[in-house]
Amino acid sequence: MRRLLLSLLIAAPAAWAQADRPANLEPLPAVPPPPPDMQPFDEALEPQVTIRKDERGTVQEYRVNGKLYMVKIVPEAGAPYYLVDNDGDGSLESHSPVDPGVKVPMWVIGTF
């Protein structure tokens, strides 16, 4: 009796899985080759990250092709924040109408 019950418990999920499949399934087509003019992986497009640590915190500078586009500042106390180059000229712009020399930081509100 136990063997019969055990064999039914093992065979039941397989039977249910087969019953849910449609009968008209077709195999997926083969993946086409990449286009002939596609460039191989270019390490120059990967960001270069420079990390500096001191007693106040950590500064991470992100560059692509030598151009600075983002800085992440992780203070010893407080939340990390970012300074971003919005127009691609390599300098971090100010968005403060009061003082043009002030760099406005951006904080991450939430992550998923």
Domains of the chain, with CATH numbers?
A: 45-107 (2.20.130.30)
Overall pTM > 0.75 = no
pLDDT at 65: 80
Return phi, psi of residue 43, to 5°: -70, -20
Question: pLDDT class for 102, splitting at 50, 70, 90?
Answer: low
> Does the pLDDT of residue 96 top 50, yes or no?
no
Find the mean pLDDT for residues 56-64: 89
Q: Which of 32-41, 51-60, 78-87 holds the top average pLDDT?
A: 51-60
When pLDDT is averaged across residues 57-78 and rounded to a whole number, the result is: 86
